[in-house]
Each structure stands twice: as structure tokens, then as C-alpha cells.
Structure 1
Amino acid sequence: MIIEDDLTIAKSLQEELTKWSYQAFYTTDFNQIMELFTEQAPQLVLIDIKLPYFNGYYWCTEIRKVSQVPIIFISSQNERMDIVMAIQMGADDFISKPFDLTIAIAKIQALLRRTYDFNENDSFLNHQGVYLKANELRLQFEEKEMALTKTEMKILEQLFLHKSEFVSREAIMVSLWENEAFIDDNTLAVNIARLRKKLAEIGLENFIITKKGYGYGLMKGE
């Protein structure tokens, strides 16, 4: 998530991150920062100090009230006290303008690796601070992790990819059939029950919710 008043810089960062196979987006609506943050649940935030209405320090503080997502400040206000203030407000790193895009991407990748302990070729999905590590068949929540079977991973992957909606039982089963996991409605229900039990053991009660007569979804934010 890129919070940047300079549209040229925001677009350049988005384009460069996309080349590296990251999903990146920026906002020009500076009245809806927290709403967008909650909706998109980004793995990392890039934020300028100088912004309309409220500055980057303010938004960093607001984000820190609800999330420990890594934050990098990008700003031309790069005096020593600006950097100190950013770190004190909860930032993880600081990039001074003007900057080299290659160096900025390297810093972003390094911070993501330190935070999530992923290799660059790993894929992961996030919802409400819960991370699905598909390549490793693992799910991470805070300091806890749980191992997944291939079937459990594919079920969760469908729910994570459609986290803002419910996924029909049929759609989940089609996905599993396509991956040679031959499963019927009863077997799906058994897998969901087992997943719920495993999730509860790491503090994720009611993480998977049921839409009666239709299918399943993920717990929605407050």
C-alpha cells in the first residue's frame, strides 16, 4: 500500500513493484486511509511524511493502533529529526527522496523477508493478520504456525483469494478436483471441521464461517 501525495512517484513505485510480481496499489483519497488499509490488509505500507489533511506521522500512529504491518517512510524531509520521528512513531525503515528505484525495491524485499521469513519466490496471502504460506503448506498467526495438508491448503487458498465474500461448496470442490484431490460434499465438511479445530488451537476461533446452504468464508473485520 503506497500513501504518497506525489502521483508520479506513487505510480513509479507501483509499476516497479508489479515488475517484481508484487501486488501494489496506491491511494489518492487521503480522507479514507484507515478504511482502505482495513479493506486491503496490505503486507507493507510505504508512506510519505507530507500529505494532505494529516501527515504521515499521524497515519503511521493510527496504523500502529491496529497492526504491526511493516512501514517504510519515503520522504524528502530527511533531516535527522525527521528520521528519528518516523522510527519513534513506529516505522521500520526510511528512504530519502530522491531515491533509486532499485535500492527502494531492495529495501522493501529485505523488510518483507525479515518480517515474514519468506523467500522471494514464496507466495503468501493475508487476512486479518493471518498469513497463508501456500508454498510451505503452513499458516502463520502472530508467533504461532500450523502445518497444512494439501487439501487444507487448497481450501484455505480459495477462502483467502475471495476473503471479501463467501465461496460456494461447489467452487471449492471444483478447485480441489482440478488439483487431483477427489472430494465430495461430505469429505469437504470433514476437512472444514478439522481445519476449524486446528485453527482454534492457535487462537483462531471462528476464523472460517459458514453461510448456510451455500458455502464458507473468512471471519470479517470489526
Structure 2
Amino acid sequence: MKIMIIEDDLVIASSLQEELLKWQYSAFYVTDFNDVMNTFTQEAPQLVLIDIKLPYFNGYYWCTEIRKISQVPIIFVSSQSERMDIVMAIQMGADDFISKPFDLTVALAKIQALLRRTYDFTGNDIYLSHRQVHLKTSELKVQYQDQEVELTKNEMKILEVLFLQKGAFVSREAIMMKLWENDSFIDDNTLAVNINRLRKKLAEINVTSFIVTKKGFGYGLQKDEHDETK
């Protein structure tokens, strides 16, 4: 699991990273606070820890920007912990709030609890799920009911991005950045070919119309059943 730390205090950022690494999480902290979204798009973390007070733009701003493209879980970690600060964080899209100063053990417990609520864990594997389709990231497989199909690394990366940002459309540039780090040298048809192959593999396990294309916006996942009446 990859965790992104957006924290101006290097001591706190390093302490969080060190503690998370002890628990086998892949943790990293932002160094360019003027380009947070580019880092988020490239790294595609499974959880974000963010402070309110940051250089250039505050945490509320970046939380709102992340929520435009992703439903990844977000925890605010801040010394600005008055009731209105917490309310504002939740209204901006945060899932939880940790007040500074904090105990690393308590912070870790909150992080692990939110990860358990967000993702399905089976043994040591992590399943990302949507509409009864389960993405087995470590096995490079996707499963539906009692059927499963193997994926290439690129196909897995595409589905992982879409699963983590379900409910929103992801631009082709963002997906290509995740796959190849830089979309400048990739043929325009390369991503489309990968998407078509992925759709064919999903059809093999009776998963159809799962990846949706919206012109001008990119790719997304078919709406969840309970969203279709909205």
C-alpha cells in the first residue's frame, strides 16, 4: 500500500514515513508543494496524509483538488484542530482527522482502520473491489464471481488507477503518466489498444461495459448500482 504524506514539517513527515515503513507500507512525502497534483497523479497512492498549513496552497485546497479526480482515503494531520477546522476538513472531503501533537501508535491505528474500511483484505493480499469485481493487485488478476483472468502489468496499472478513482473520470494523460511516466513519447493509439485488450479480458469473465469512456474527460468505471438512480 502506497501512502502519500503532504506535510511541511520535515521532522513530522520523516517520522510518519519511518513508522509506516516499519509496517511494510510504501510511504513517501511531498517535496514540491507547488506541484502536489502532479505527484499525486504519478504516484497514485492508496491513502493521503495532509496538513492544513502548507506552502503556496493550504491542505483544504489540495484536498478539494484530489477529490475532483479521486476517492482515495484522506486523513488530515494538523495542529489546527479546533472544531471548525475538523468540520471544514470533513466538508472538503477528508475521511478522518488526527490532531497534532499525536502519538505515532494512535496515528498508525487510525491509518490502518481507514485502510481496512476502504479496501478488502484477504490474507496478505489487497483486493480493490467495485460492482463485485475484485482486483488482485499482487497476483495480477481480476476476479468476478468464480471466474478470474490474468493481467499484464500495464493492464493492472490501468485498472488500479480506475479503481482508486472510481466515481470520477481519469484523463488519458493521467493514465499514461502512471504507465510510462511521461506521455510525450507514446503513440496516441497505445493507450486505446491497452484499454481494448483489457475490455476483452474482462468480457472473458462476463464483465462487460465496466470501463466507460467519456469524450473530453477520459476513462472511468461503470457507476455502482446504488448510484444509478441519482
How many residues are matched? 175
| CA distance in 2: counterparts of 1:18 and 1:57, whole angstroms | 26
| CA distance in 2: counterparts of 1:77 and 1:16, whole angstroms | 23
Specify the alignment match of 2:109 in structure 1: 106
| CA distance in 1: counterparts of 2:101 and 2:134, whole angstroms | 33
Matched, 1:160 2:156: yes
Displacement over 4 Å in runs of 4+: 134-138, 145-148, 191-194
Q: CA deviation at 1:199?
A: 8.3
Larger relative contact order, structure 1 or 2 (CA cutoff 8 Å, min sep 6):
2
* Change beyond 3 A, Cα 1:109–1:8: same
Matched, 1:85 2:88: yes
Q: CA deviation at 1:119?
A: 5.0
Q: CA deviation at 1:165?
A: 3.8
Rg larger in structure: 1
Q: CA deviation at 1:194?
A: 4.9
Structure 2, unaligned runs of 5 or more? 159-177, 182-196, 221-230
SS in 2 for 1:25: strand
TM-score (norm 2): 0.64
Deviation per CA, 1:39-67: give whole Å up to 9, x if none. 11111100000000100000001111111
Specify the alignment match of 1:204 in structure 2: 211
Specify the alignment match of 1:18 in structure 2: 21
Specify the alignment match of 1:53 in structure 2: 56
Specify the alignment match of 1:180 in structure 2: none
* Change beyond 3 A, Cα 1:32–1:57: same
Deviates more, 1:114-123 or 1:31-40: 114-123
Would you say the 8 A contact 1:45–1:72 is kept in 2? yes
TM-score (norm 1): 0.66
| CA distance in 2: counterparts of 1:136 and 1:94, whole angstroms | 33
Q: CA deviation at 1:11?
A: 0.9
Would you say the 8 A contact 1:138–1:147 is kept in 2? no
Would you say the 8 A contact 2:119–2:128 is kept in 1? no
Specify the alignment match of 2:186 in structure 1: none
Would you say the 8 A contact 2:137–2:156 is kept in 1? no
Amino acid at match of 2:87: V
Would you say the 8 A contact 2:119–2:127 is kept in 1? no
Q: CA RMSD in A?
A: 3.4
Deviation per CA, 1:147-171: give whole Å up to 9, x if none. 653xx33x345753796249xxxxx
* Change beyond 3 A, Cα 1:34–1:89: same
Would you say the 8 A contact 1:71–1:90 is kept in 2? yes
